[in-house]
Amino acid sequence: MKISTRSAKVLIPLLALSFATAMAPALADSSNGDGQKSGVIYNSVISPLPGNLPSQPFQAQQVSEFGNAVNFSTGASHNLSKVVVTMSSWGCASGSWYLHTCTTPEDATFAQPITLNIYAPSTDGVNPGAKITSVTNTFNIKYRPSASPLCVGSDLGKWYEKSSKTCFNGFAQNITFNPKNVKVGSSAIFGIAYNTTSYGYAPIGTGAACFSTSQGCGYDSLNVAVTEDPTNVSVGSSVVPGKPWINSQTPSVYVDGGAAGVGTFRIDSPLVAPGWGSGASSSTAPWYVPAFKVFANGEGKADNQSDEKSSDGKGPDNKSDGKQGIKKD
């Protein structure tokens, strides 16, 4: 995505956001669900999870898949056991965030199928290698909390986090896939894919009952959260820093303006400088990177990080800053 030129497409104004600093070292193992111990071999997820993070829209940016190529921390081969991904939900049970009318009963959810694709490393520097596995789960995605009367002025319509005394729009949450004993080498490409009304590999269309409601469909306001590389990458590394992978139908979503192709999952972008900078310049680090945590059986860094939210379950948020269509507040 071409962050520096996305201001014409953003949905909400610029808002500065401070990221959490690098995560503390993990100390304890976690189970993969089969009684085996597994460790973290790549991590860009923030813990404890804040209320929201910057995020990559799907419906608003005509995206079908978003991910990254990563190097694992140790070894030449791994048996993957678990992948955690942070999502950002802007949808409301009724009303909407952009009309400042959001109303959501506590813990209200919508069911959403989401797919994790894992590919072999690229052989041409543009396209992913062979698909190693594809796992689709249906998750109960939480809507964002209701608009708070404590949020006024420029914060009108946002929800209020008691612990930080701050108003926010979106709501971050982790989802977990369990790709049992999937074998990979020292690196792999991960992609998250799901369908929205108009986009995805099998668009849902306008016939869904939610489409005609005032709040619309939750999946149209669902994004993949991003953190900062190298700030929040505590284990492993990006294969090409500043160049995540994306599939969009729109040329301007890509840093190279679609020169290397549109409508296909590829690196963004070959033959041009990185363009996913999260700071004042889109061409310098730190870089936006999808928030993933990857586990492997019997190896890697032990993990004591919670995959849940901080104590009150609510925190910072996300609003578009005009960079690669990334949404922040």
Write out residues in the chain with pLDDT < 70, as ranges.
1-36, 300, 304-325
The pLDDT of residue 271: 95
Asked if the structure places residue 298 within a domain, the reply is no
User: What is the tally of structural domains in the chain?
Assistant: 1
The pLDDT of residue 318: 36
The pLDDT of residue 305: 63
Asked if the structure places residue 290 within a domain, the reply is no
In this structure, the strands spanning 78-89 and 292-297 are antiparallel
Task: Tokens 């008691």: give the residue.
Answer: 162
Cα 301 to Cα 49, 175, 234: the distances in Å are: 19, 20, 10
Q: Give the predicted TM-score (pTM) of the model.
A: 0.85
Asked if the structure places residue 194 within a domain, the reply is yes
Asked if the structure places residue 226 within a domain, the reply is no
The pLDDT of residue 309: 54
The pLDDT of residue 200: 98
Asked if the structure places residue 158 within a domain, the reply is yes
Residues of the domain holding 136: 3-17+26-221+257-284
Cα 52 to Cα 73, 144, 223, 260, 314: the distances in Å are: 27, 10, 11, 32, 8
Asked if the structure places residue 176 within a domain, the reply is yes
φ, ψ of residue 5 in degrees (nearest 5): -115, 15
Asked if the structure places residue 289 within a domain, the reply is no
The pLDDT of residue 116: 98
Per residue in 126-142, pLDDT tens?
999 999 999 999 999 99
The pLDDT of residue 36: 58
